[in-house]
Amino acid sequence: MKKFSTLLILLAAAAVCFAQSEPVEGYWLSVDENTGQITAGWQIYIENNVLYGKILSMTEFPPGLIAERCKTSYSGFPIPGRVNTMPVIGTPWIFGLTKQRNGTWSGGNVINPEDGGIYNARITFHPAGSSSGRRTFQVDTLEMYGSILLFGRSQFWTRTDQRTASGLYQR
């Protein structure tokens, strides 16, 4: 019985060690779809099967920027307090997304902290070498789709490391 219990514990530990992390998790650079310029470094993470994303740095704005153009509150916002007094850096502006199928998360929102706009969000992971429509992805890419009613747009973000995502502001 003791050997059997030990074997079960080892198998459970091995399963945890070899479980694949979700490919959307990690560090990403958002890229403006019109200019092709990097706008921010993000951390995408999952807690209790819900996807969140927070800005780690921005190219045009200093680290101490407050989201003063936001409303005081938003339905489902994941942290308590007045949103319009929160720092842009470190606040989860992407929230409430749940996994729909392999690589796609939706059902939540993204807030643009620059103007306070809130959008329905869908994030799809595209691995390097894959294709979607007329687009072939050379590197791991996140498609961030934000919409209001029937109108929306996609941005394509590229994978990076924590140091790069955290160090964009250079003024």
CB 161 within 8 A of CB 41: no
Return d(Cα 93, Cα 78) in angstroms, integer.
Answer: 9
154-168, pLDDT tens digit by residue? 999 999 999 999 999
18-68, pLDDT tens digit by residue? 345 799 999 999 998 889 999 999 999 999 999 999 999 999 888 899 999
pLDDT at 16 over 50: no
Domain 21-166 class?
Answer: mainly beta
Q: Computed over its alpha carbons, how large is the radius of gyration of the chain?
A: 18
CB 113 within 8 A of CB 94: no
108-125, pLDDT tens digit by residue? 999 999 999 999 999 999
Mean pLDDT in the chain? 88
Question: Domain-by-domain residue ranges, the chain?
Answer: 21-166
Among the ranges 90-99, 125-134, 150-159, which has the highest mean pLDDT value? 90-99
Q: Give pLDDT, residue 6.
A: 38
Q: Give pLDDT, residue 5.
A: 40
pTM above 0.75, yes or no: yes
Return d(Cα 129, Cα 137) in angstroms, integer.
Answer: 5
Which residue is listed with tokens 């842009």?
88
Of 146, 142, 54, 52, residue with least CA distance to 97: 52
